[in-house]
Amino acid sequence: MAEMLTHVRSALAVNFSRCIQGYHLINADPAKESIWESLNAQIFSASGCPVQSKSSGSHAPGSDITCAIGNISNKSAKYEPGNGAFSVSSYRLTATCSSSSFGTIPEIFAEISSRKNFQYYSIIVREETGEKFRYDWYLIPSDYPQFNPEAYAWSPMMGQRGKNKDKQIGWKTNEINGSSMSITFSMSSQLWMYMNVTEEMRQFIIGTATASREQRFNYLELYEMLNK
């Protein structure tokens, strides 16, 4: 898998930029969520990395794309000011931990491990500046420490005010190179990953793309152009 990624990396970077610019010819909205899955599959296929299957936006946990470099979990995010960090959501863990049953960290790890059937996170992170979108595409091994829940030390998250003051409202972690994770029961016990972008993490940026926020064509115009 790693050899395949090395072989196609340059093509992936070129096709990422082309695909994003093509998308924004007819779309003013950012490329994210299920749209990113579809674009990502096109990029892999065009770069000599055949796609065997994709989830087509089903929102099922785990792998979204299966291709020649392995199973891929697609994520999208927006940079915080300064482009130094971003947050992505992951598994909903209500069956394992909630306000009525806090669960244990070993149980949470076991549940996450049972769903983790992919080798890479494929994350598109955007910066919105004036009239343009700027995107970075990260392809990060799923066992990279900052993305691995088991690499952190977990402790109860306690409420700070109101009716939940001094009551457990979730779980939280320490920091690894500025990154951390949390689970908040009131937010469907969803695992959230706050990622601080270190210099080491930047090695996983496959490509960067910039596109105008102003669409050039709409779908009707495109239809008419292709059917003259």
Q: Per the confidence metrics, is the pTM higher than 0.85? A: yes
- Is residue 223 exposed (0-12), middle (13-18) or buried (19+ Cβ within 10 Å)? exposed
pLDDT in tens, 77-96: 999 999 899 999 999 999 99
Which amino acid, 4? Answer: M
Q: Report the alpha-carbon distance of residue 214 to residue 220 in Å, rounded.
A: 16
Q: How confident is the model at residue 5 (pLDDT cuts 50, 70, 90)?
A: confident
pLDDT in tens, 103-162: 999 999 999 999 999 999 999 999 998 889 999 999 999 999 999 999 999 999 999 988
Instruction: List the chain domain ranges.
Output: 2-214
